[in-house]
Structure 1
Amino acid sequence: MTDVWGDRGVFRPRELGQPSRAAGQPWRLDAVADVPDTVLDAARVGTLEVRAASARGAGHRSLGEVRQDAMAVADLGGRYVLMAVADGFGAASHAHRGAQLAVRHALSYLTWALPGADLDAVDMVSALRQADRVVREAGPNPECRRTTLTVAAVELGWSGQGHRYRAVRVGNSPAMMLSDEVFLPLFGNRGADADLLPSPRGPADGVRGVLRPGEALVIATAGLGTPARKSPIGTYLTQAWAEPPGPVAFLHHLQFDLRAFDDDRTAVVVWAR
C-alpha cells in the first residue's frame, strides 16, 4: 500500500498552474449508486467527429459528493448529431436528478420531432419545455432539481458548405465555436443567478449557424466552459482540440489541475473534418 494518491506518468492530470488541494486528495465514493464518477462517449458520424465526457470535479470527489452535471449525445439516422448538457445547481439537493432528466427528455423530444422535418422548422425551444415539464413533475419540491440545460442539433452535409446547427439553452452554461485555435462564445453572458429549470422566468437563448470544416462546436457546463475562456486553460484546450483527439485523450484533457477550478466538468464537442 502507498499513501500517494492519483495517476502517474502520462495519465497524470496536466498541471496548468498552482495545483488544486482537492485534486491531491483520494477520491471518495458517493451515496448515489447509479450516477458514476465519469461517463465517456465518442463516435464518427459521416464527416463529423464527436467526443463527449462528464466527470466529477475534484471538489465533489474529495468530499464524496455526487456528480451534478449530465450529458447526452445521439446519432439520428446519420442525418443529425444531437447533444445536450446540464449543470445541476450546486445548492439543490437533487440537482443531479434534474440534470439527468433534462438531457434525456430534451433529446427524446428532438428524436421525435426532427425526422422528416427541416432543422429550421423544428421548435427547438419545445425540447427545453419538455425537459422543464418532466423535471418539474418528477416529484415533490421541484426546486431541489434545479439545473441549466443546453441542447444542440447539427445537420450533416448541408449544401456542401458545412453543417447547419442550432442550439438553445436555459441558464448560463456556455456554447462556443472553436475556430483557428480560439473559443468564440455563441451566447451572451448571463449571471450566476440566470434562470434555471424547472419553471424558468425568462426566455431561452437561441443561436444558429454553420459548422465549417476545421471548426468544432462545443457545448459545456460552467466547470469547463468558464475556464476554457481563460488562459492558460483556454490555450491548453484550443491546442489539445485543434484536431479531434482519441476518446481517452479527450477525457484526460478534462482532468487538468488548477487551483480554484474544482467543479464538475462536462463537454460535448463536434468537429467538422
Structure 2
Amino acid sequence: MALFPHRRSEDGPKERRRVPPPAPAPDLYRKEPAGPGPADGTPAAVTAPAPPRGELADDWRPISVDGAVPAFDPRPPTGGLSYRPDTVCDGWSTGELDLRLASVRGYAHRAEGRPREDDAAAAWDELTGAVVFAVADGVSDAREPHIGSQLACRSAVDELLAQVRASGGFVTDWHKLLGTVHWQLVEQARRILHTPDNPSVDDTAALLATTLVAGAATPTPEGVRVTLVSVGDSGVWVIKNQEVYPLKGGKSFGADGLLSSAVRPMPYVPADLGPFEYLLDPGSVLLVGTDGFGDPVGDGRGAVARLCVQELSRPLPPLAFAYTLDFYRETFDDDRTLVALWPRGGASGAVR
C-alpha cells in the first residue's frame, strides 16, 4: 500500500531538517466555574457549555510531530479474531506511584486492517506496594504475534506478582520468570497447532514470537527500586531534568550507522540473562515501551522526546496518555505501547 511508502528507522543527531516543537495537546479537562447555588445553599453542579458541532472532533485529531496525518478510515482487524481493540489504556495510583498504560495500533496496521501486535499488563501488590509490569511486541513475521504478546504479558505479570508476594516485594528468580513465559507460549502453540506433543522452540517462535520487558518497581527507604529484564528490542527510558535518557534495550546501531531491526525474541530465553536495576528518584518518570515508541524517540534529542518531556512529566488522565502516545510522525507507523511510572513527591536529583 502506498500510504506509507518510505519507512525510517532512526532519529536524533542525523536529523537534517528543522522540526518545529510539537503543538501541545488540547486541554480536554477545562470546566467552567460553578455559578451561584440554589437558595438552600446546595452547591451548584459544575458544567461546561457544549462545544460547537465538530469542534470536539477537531480537538481529538492526532498530535502531528511532523508531516500531514493521513486521512483514512482505519480498517477493522482481520485474521479470525473475535475482538482485538485498536487502543487500550489504563491508569491508577498507589501511595508511592502513579501508573499509566496504553497500547495503540499503528497507522500502517490501521490502513492494512491488521490487528495491534503490541500488548502490556500491570498489577499491584497491596502488602509490599510493589508494582509489576510487562510490555511486549509481537514479531510481525510470526503468524499470530498478537496472541504471543498478550500471553507473554499476562503470564509474566502473574509470575512477577507471585514472586513479589512471596519475597517481600522483590523478584527473586528471573530464570523462572522467563521460563514461565517460554512454556506458556509453547503450550499455546500446541493448542493452536492441535498437536499431541509440544512443538519445538523454532515452531513456537514462527507462530507466537514476541519481545518482552518485564519487571517490578518496589518502594524502599532509598526510593523506588526498579528491576527488570528485556528480551528483544523493546526498551526503557527515563525523563529526568527535562531530558529523555535511554536506559536499557531498544534497537542497536549497525556498522552502517543505521538501526538494526534484528531481534531474538521469546520463546527463546537468553543465556546471559541479567536483570537491570535502577533507582527511580522522585521527579523522574520511568518509560517502558516497544520499538514503535522507541524508534521515533531515538537518542532522546529529537521532536518526539520533546513531546514526551512536555506532556509526560506529570501523570495524565489515562485517555490523555493514550492520545499523546498516538502522535503522528511521518514514516513511524508501527504499533506503540508504553507503561509510565511516576514516583509521588519530591524533586529529582542528578542522572545516575
What TM-score results when the alignment is normalised by the length of structure 1?
Answer: 0.90
Where 1:267 maps in the other structure, the secondary structure is strand
Q: Which of 237, 255, 266 is residue 197 of structure 1 equivalent to?
A: 266
| Conservation of the 8 A alpha-carbon contact between 1:147 and 1:197 | yes
**Counterpart position of 2:338:** 267
Residue 42, structure 1, aligned to residue 105, structure 2: no
**Counterpart position of 1:30:** 77
- Cα deviation, 1:218-255, whole Å, max 9, x if unaligned, reads 11000012212351111111111111111111111011
| Conservation of the 8 A alpha-carbon contact between 2:62 and 2:69 | no
Where 1:8 maps in the other structure, the secondary structure is helix
Structure 2: runs of 5+ lacking an equivalent: 1-55, 194-202, 253-259, 345-352
Where 2:167 maps in the other structure, the secondary structure is coil
- Amino acid in the other structure paired with 1:52: L
Query: Aligned ranges for residues 39-188 of structure 1 at < 5 Å?
Result: 39-77=88-126, 79-119=129-169, 122-139=172-189, 140=193, 141-142=203-204, 143-156=206-219, 158-159=220-221, 161-187=222-248
**Counterpart position of 2:320:** 249
- In the aligned structure 1, how far is the partner of 2:237 from the partner of 2:262? 21
- Cα deviation, 1:68-99, whole Å, max 9, x if unaligned, reads 00100111115111110000101111011110
- In the aligned structure 2, how far is the partner of 1:272 from the partner of 1:43? 13
For the structure 1 residues 205 and 10, does the alpha-carbon distance in structure 2 shift closer, same or farther, using more than 3 Å as the test? farther
Residue 219, structure 1, aligned to residue 288, structure 2: yes
| Conservation of the 8 A alpha-carbon contact between 1:20 and 1:260 | no
- In the aligned structure 2, how far is the partner of 1:41 from the partner of 1:76? 17
Measured after TM superposition, the shift of residue 205 of structure 1 is 5.2
- In the aligned structure 1, how far is the partner of 2:171 from the partner of 2:323? 38
| Conservation of the 8 A alpha-carbon contact between 1:107 and 1:127 | no
**What value does the CA root-mean-square deviation take over the aligned residues?**
1.8
| Conservation of the 8 A alpha-carbon contact between 2:282 and 2:343 | yes
- In the aligned structure 1, how far is the partner of 2:131 from the partner of 2:66? 35
- Cα deviation, 1:91-110, whole Å, max 9, x if unaligned, reads 11101111011001011111
- In the aligned structure 2, how far is the partner of 1:272 from the partner of 1:179? 12
Measured after TM superposition, the shift of residue 201 of structure 1 is 5.2
Relative to structure 2, which stretch is displaced further, 109-118 or 207-216? 109-118
For the structure 1 residues 200 and 128, does the alpha-carbon distance in structure 2 shift closer, same or farther, using more than 3 Å as the test? closer
Relative to structure 2, which stretch is displaced further, 184-193 or 96-105? 184-193
- In the aligned structure 2, how far is the partner of 1:121 from the partner of 1:35? 31
- In the aligned structure 1, how far is the partner of 2:90 from the partner of 2:124? 12
Measured after TM superposition, the shift of residue 202 of structure 1 is 4.7
- Amino acid in the other structure paired with 1:17: D
Measured after TM superposition, the shift of residue 267 of structure 1 is 0.2
**Counterpart position of 2:9:** none
- Amino acid in the other structure paired with 2:320: A
Matched-pair identity in %: 30
Residue 206, structure 1, aligned to residue 269, structure 2: no
Aligned length in residues: 263
| Conservation of the 8 A alpha-carbon contact between 2:148 and 2:208 | yes
**Counterpart position of 1:3:** none
What TM-score results when the alignment is normalised by the length of structure 2?
Answer: 0.71
For the structure 1 residues 172 and 68, does the alpha-carbon distance in structure 2 shift closer, same or farther, using more than 3 Å as the test? same
- Amino acid in the other structure paired with 2:134: A
Where 1:114 maps in the other structure, the secondary structure is helix
Structure 1: runs of 5+ lacking an equivalent: 1-6
- In the aligned structure 1, how far is the partner of 2:272 from the partner of 2:69? 37
